[in-house]
Amino acid sequence: MFEFNGNVRNFGLIDNLPEGCCVEVPVLASKNSIRPLHVGPLPAHLAVLVNTNARCEELAVEAALEGDPRKVFHAICFDPLTSAVLSLAEIKSMVDEMFNANRDYLPQFKHFN
């Protein structure tokens, strides 16, 4: 048996984070299975930050699946680090630049402006 910290989906592992989001928790691995371990709740002050990040990531995934560039913009606007260092105008410019630079790899976003 080998124990390590691994990134897995949160299905009852960290109680106060969104179900299904990606979390890093202790994992037990054997030749027959990989078993993530229940951690319980995060301290409240950490749960606020991690929930915000997880919700931004979920919104970005939704945006990619739906091809909705506005949701990409919103996900980036609410990212704690980005919103701390960039204005909304700078974020909009960055998102537009990202779409332009990656146009060939993002066919679901053909209608962005």
Given this model, what pLDDT does residue 109 score?
A: 87
Query: What would the pLDDT profile of 1-43 be if each residue is shown by its tens digit?
Result: 999 999 999 999 999 999 999 999 999 999 999 999 999 999 9
Is it the case that residue 113 has pLDDT exceeding 60?
no
Whether pTM > 0.85 for this model: the answer is no
Query: What would the pLDDT profile of 43-68 be if each residue is shown by its tens digit?
Result: 999 999 999 999 999 999 999 999 99
Q: 101 pLDDT band (50/70/90 cuts)?
A: very high
Given this model, what pLDDT does residue 59 score?
A: 96
Given this model, what pLDDT does residue 56 score?
A: 95
In the 3-class helix/strand/coil scheme, how is the chain assigned residue by residue? CEEEEEEEECCCCECCCCCCCEEEEEEEECCCCEEECCCECCCHHHHHHHHHHHHHHHHHHHHHHHCCHHHHHHHHHCCHHHHHHCCHHHHHHHHHHHHHHCHHHCHHHCCCC
